[in-house]
Amino acid sequence: MAPASSHRGHQWICDLVRGSCLLLLLVVSNLLLCQGAEDYAPYCKNQPGNCRIPLQSLFERATLVASNNYRLAREMFNEFDEALLRLVISLLHSWDEPLHQAVTELLHRNGASPDILARAKEIEDKTKVLLEGVEMIQKRVHPGEKKNEPYPVWSEKSSLTADDEDVRQTAFYRMFHCLHRDSSKISTYINLLKCRFTPC
């Protein structure tokens, strides 16, 4: 269901950032090794005593490495944005069927709380609106982005229609608990993206 998949999606982002940071460190280390004092051998070759690299050359080296760091960080951050948007879209899609099923069962269930039914229906409708909005954002900030994460499938759908009342109650409880957790993640991720692309 959504909880396991959202955890995998969250772990995938952590692995992506961790891997990108290691790659960045390797690239920078390689630059520093390749751009050591041997680069200035022609200058130092015929100089008596200890040869000092010119200050201008040191600044040029530092500027080159700093510029490269900035480029790599920008590319890494852009890739992180794309992954985060895909994860938000995946989470929202994962709730299409569970919310529809919950509303359907509550409508036909004797003794169902009208308040819970009304809130479930409102969440179902607003989740669809939110999904459309996030997909519009994705098209604006990453026009060429078409890949989305696989949408998780809810594994406890049949429990909502079980004959055993305890089983049904437990299924609703688990579903609403997962919905609360995923809604919190979605809100946090969207706020992160908002601060990335617009003034916070």
User: Concatenated DSSP letters for 2-58?
Assistant: HHHHHHHHHHHHHHHHHHHHHHHHHHHHHHHHHTSGGGGHHHHTT--SS----HHHH
pLDDT at 145: 66
- pLDDT of residue 12 exceeding 70, the answer is no
Specify the pLDDT at position 31. 47
Task: Between 39 and 90, name the one with better pLDDT.
Answer: 90
- Predicted local confidence at residue 46, as pLDDT: 52
pLDDT at residue 47 in the model: 54
Give the per-residue pLDDT at 25. Answer: 47
Domain boundaries in the chain? 2-45+53-197
Query: Could you say which architecture CATH assigns to the domain 2-45+53-197?
Result: Up-down Bundle (1.20)
Residues contacting 98, CB < 8 A, separation 6+: 1, 2, 154, 157, 175, 179
pLDDT at 189: 94
Give the pLDDT confidence of 130-163 residue by residue, as tens digits: 999 999 999 898 887 666 567 777 788 788 888 8
The pLDDT of 62-90, averaged and rounded, is 89
Q: Are 113 and 169 in contact (CB under 8 A)?
A: no
Q: Assess contact for 95 and 129: CB atoms under 8 A.
A: no
Whether the per-residue pLDDT at 16 is higher than 80: the answer is no
3, amino acid identity: P
Measured distance CA(101)–CA(65) in Å, rounded: 55
CA atoms within 13 A on the CB side of 167: 9
Q: And the tokens for 153?
A: 């499938």
Of all residues in the chain, what percent carry a pLDDT higher than 70? 72
pLDDT at 109 (0 to 100): 80
Range with lowest mean pLDDT among 93-102, 110-119, 138-147, 177-186: 138-147
Which phi and psi (to 5°) does residue 199 adopt? Answer: -60, 135
What is the rounded average pLDDT of the residues 187-196? 92
Average pLDDT, whole number, for the chain?
Answer: 78
